[in-house]
Amino acid sequence: MSKPKFYITTPIYYANSRPHVGSAYTTIVCDVIARYKRMCGYDVAYLTGTDEHGVNIERAAEKAGVTPQQLVDKNEKIFRELWKLLGITTTGFIRTTEPRHALAVQNLVRRTMRLSPDAIYKKKYEGRYCIYDNLYVSDTPEPADCQICGRPGELVSEENYFFRLSAYQQKLLDLYQSNPQFLYPDFRFNEVKSFVESGLKDISISRKSIKWGIPWPDDPEHVFYVWYDALTSYMSGIGFVDGEHDGPEFKKYWPADIHAMGKEIIRFHAVYWPAFLMAAGIELPKQIVAHGWLLFEQEKMSKSKGNVAYPEPIVKVLGNDALRYYLLRETVFGQDGNFSREALITRHNADLANGLGNLANRVLTMIGNNFGGIVPDRLTEDKALEQNATHIKEAAGRYFDSWRFSEYLQEIWQLISLVDFLLVQKKPWARVAEPQERAAVGSVLYEAAEAIRFATVLAHPVIPDATQKIWEQLGQTGRLADVRIDELKWGGLKTGTKIGKPEGVFPRVDKKEALERIETMENEIRNPGSAQPDTSTTTTKTTAEGASTGTSAAGTAAIPAGAPGAGSPAGTLGASAAGTAATPAIAAPAKIGIEDFAKVELRVGVVKSAEKIAGADKLLKVMVDIGDEVRQVLAGIAPSYAPEELVGRKVVVVTNLAPRKMRGVESNGMLLAASAGPDGKAVLCTFAEDIPAGAKVK
């Protein structure tokens, strides 16, 4: 029998900047759903992509001094790489600059004009438009702010093609009425219903003053409004051509079972999109699933606000699973949630390292040490754990099916607690040496291992890397992803199975150190070239995936030997123990011209005061007089200098470095220092002769 199909999409991402944790949230959630559905026997198509047209891309490219195409080519790669790093199992990726997509968009509008001749008409538009959210903010020229981001809309006055949305009001209300599951969660569905009930205005679906877009068929002075263009990607990405000559993938997977997205773009999906499809005579998606925002420092995480956390450093320090687990466990899906790196590390240590990881390791080690690595017999008549596990599996399934991921995970971790409790109660380690207890102890370990197998299968969609490892350590063969959650039954672990080598899958991390490492890497993403890796604190960590990553602690202002500047011929950038340790985190310096060097503004500074920063072992907050002002600079020199010995000292300050925050404290510059060898301490650059604060160093 062929498998039932399931088609899920994320929004396609604006390719004007790199993704942050907030944007990755949608993709991670969809990946969890896609994996889960596969494990329930569905044939899943999962699409994402990049939204590459529109004025925001045009302007971002202009700012970067590149063409729009160059900009989107660069950013599209960043998205693809991130999805790979996060273990995202998409089956398709669509870029709106692809010819197959442009054709689909043009054909959709042609089809609409043919089937619903009144649906599209031309009219002069005058109103306000938000270039960041691509939203028509108001239909009058008076100043108006964007409802999504709050920024002022720009005046647009031009002839446009309009879509007669007003004619679809009743049809949309009928759709909502006949399909009460159309939008999740309910409270957002109610908002949409009220919006539609209050009356719909026709919307412009073309732009004349913009060049970077898909040309309107037979009227190339116009390009498509980006949302009409972007929404069509859900179909073009799986082979839609024109509704008559579509590819097999489209025929198989359309309509989408789920379009998932953040709350700010519900209206486009739950109002405009179904209306566009109705007018084109195409089947409607089955469900719109909307999540809340990830907030950071109390506001929506967004690049324009500067309050973003990036996924890559988190994955490098804690592993992919930790980020995925945290996002699903900590946030109530559908509502806004706070993102905090501290909470993320706490969850990692408590639930993953000390919870599942530690439990699996203890049980498997006991089986390894006492039963020759062979899964012992189950003797017990006490079926409490089996019943609990079965009950938990069913409850978890109900939570998952209603998109309550946090509760889904709580159920699984409830099972982990029950096994912990069983071990505390039965104390197998204390009894195993007694020959008459061996069989009973073996049975306890069987129960524990079988419950771990259950937890591993259920948790796999959320934490795929570690669960696959535990699966192998349990002596199971094949991909855990191929195991069926819906067929999971107690007793699947066979007595006599040879287990694998027990190994920890979630190394516990030191909170302070992990935070510092994440922040350093994030600063490097924000201001490329701004991280100042310090060989004295460089550590090589094994991530949860077992990958070895050379990274360095944050807040270090020391320039390591071998880094650009250290050991420069004229010695103007500070001394170095030339030829000593190479720094793994820094590529061999390329030669730069004097004009590049001249970009760095260096000045003599005199330290006015210095103090430690709470919670950061390596950082000092240094107030330094640079002639015309006193600057606050954070330097990772606490292991080398006591704060009081710095006061009055002359130092070299990089004064034109972009400000950055570490531990929430702003640093406005950098102190130059040298260090030698992996354990070398930072040695500040200073002057033997007298020189006033503010003098230029060159």
In the complex with ligand MSP, the residue whose CB is nearer, 223 or 385, is 223
In the complex with ligand MSP, the residue whose CB is nearer, 94 or 633, is 94
User: Residue number with the shortest CB distance to ligand MSP?
Assistant: 262
Residue type, 499: I
| Dihedral pair phi/psi, residue 687, rounded to 5° | -125, 135
In the complex with ligand MSP, the residue whose CB is nearer, 300 or 393, is 300
Query: Residue 45's closest CA among 36, 53, 34?
Result: 34
Least distance in angstroms from the C-beta of 175 to ligand MSP: 19
Judging by DSSP bridges, how do beta strands 5-9 and 43-51 pair with one another? parallel
What is the sign of the dihedral through the CA atoms of 18, 19, 22 and 23?
positive
Query: Residue 605's closest CA among 574, 628, 584?
Result: 628
Q: Which H/E stretch holds residue 470?
A: helix 464-473
In the complex with ligand MSP, the residue whose CB is nearer, 262 or 274, is 262
Interface with ligand MSP by CB under 6 A: which residues? Answer: 11-14, 22-23, 25-26, 51, 230-231, 233, 261-262, 264-265, 293-294, 300-302
In the complex with ligand MSP, the residue whose CB is nearer, 216 or 273, is 273
Tokens 């950061």 belong to residue: 616
| Dihedral pair phi/psi, residue 15, rounded to 5° | -95, 30
In the complex with ligand MSP, the residue whose CB is nearer, 230 or 322, is 230
Could you tell me the end-to-end alpha-carbon distance of the chain, in angstroms, rounded to an integer?
76
Least distance in angstroms from the C-beta of 69 to ligand MSP: 17
User: Residue 407 has which token pair?
Assistant: 């509760």
- Helix residue ranges per DSSP H, 584-683: 594-597, 643-646
DSSP 555: S
Least distance in angstroms from the C-beta of 14 to ligand MSP: 4
Burial class of residue 411 (count of CB atoms within 10 Å of its CB; 0-12, 13-18, 19+): buried
- Measured between alpha carbons, how far is 318 from 667 in angstroms, rounded to an integer? 26
Least distance in angstroms from the C-beta of 289 to ligand MSP: 10
In the complex with ligand MSP, the residue whose CB is nearer, 284 or 623, is 284
Least distance in angstroms from the C-beta of 45 to ligand MSP: 16
In the complex with ligand MSP, the residue whose CB is nearer, 26 or 543, is 26
Least distance in angstroms from the C-beta of 384 to ligand MSP: 41
In the complex with ligand MSP, the residue whose CB is nearer, 34 or 375, is 34
In the complex with ligand MSP, the residue whose CB is nearer, 262 or 475, is 262
Least distance in angstroms from the C-beta of 133 to ligand MSP: 7
Asked whether the beta carbons of 633 and 652 are under 8 A apart, the reply is: no
CA distances from 467 to 170, 359, 368, 410 (A): 49, 13, 19, 16
CA distances from 400 to 90, 463, 638 (A): 20, 15, 48
Least distance in angstroms from the C-beta of 240 to ligand MSP: 14
In the complex with ligand MSP, the residue whose CB is nearer, 205 or 457, is 205
Beta strand spans in 581-615 (E): 602-613
In the complex with ligand MSP, the residue whose CB is nearer, 522 or 625, is 522
DSSP 658: P
Tokens 């200073």 belong to residue: 686
Asked whether the beta carbons of 511 and 350 are under 8 A apart, the reply is: no
Least distance in angstroms from the C-beta of 574 to ligand MSP: 40
Query: Residue 36's closest CA among 417, 544, 402, 392?
Result: 402
Least distance in angstroms from the C-beta of 503 to ligand MSP: 35
Query: Distance between alpha carbon 597 and the CA centroid of its chain, in Å?
Result: 35
**Cis amide prior to 185 (ω within 30 degrees):** yes
Least distance in angstroms from the C-beta of 644 to ligand MSP: 43
Query: Residue 485's closest CA among 386, 388, 393, 360?
Result: 393
Asked whether the beta carbons of 652 and 669 are under 8 A apart, the reply is: no
Least distance in angstroms from the C-beta of 284 to ligand MSP: 15
Asked whether the beta carbons of 625 and 632 are under 8 A apart, the reply is: no
In the complex with ligand MSP, the residue whose CB is nearer, 326 or 641, is 326
In the complex with ligand MSP, the residue whose CB is nearer, 135 or 441, is 135
Least distance in angstroms from the C-beta of 327 to ligand MSP: 9
Judging by DSSP bridges, how do beta strands 13-14 and 43-51 pair with one another? parallel
How many degrees, rounded to 5, is the angle at CA 349 between CA 293 and CA 448? 110
Least distance in angstroms from the C-beta of 24 to ligand MSP: 8
> Coil, helix or strand for 568?
coil
Query: Distance between alpha carbon 195 and the CA centroid of its chain, in Å?
Result: 31
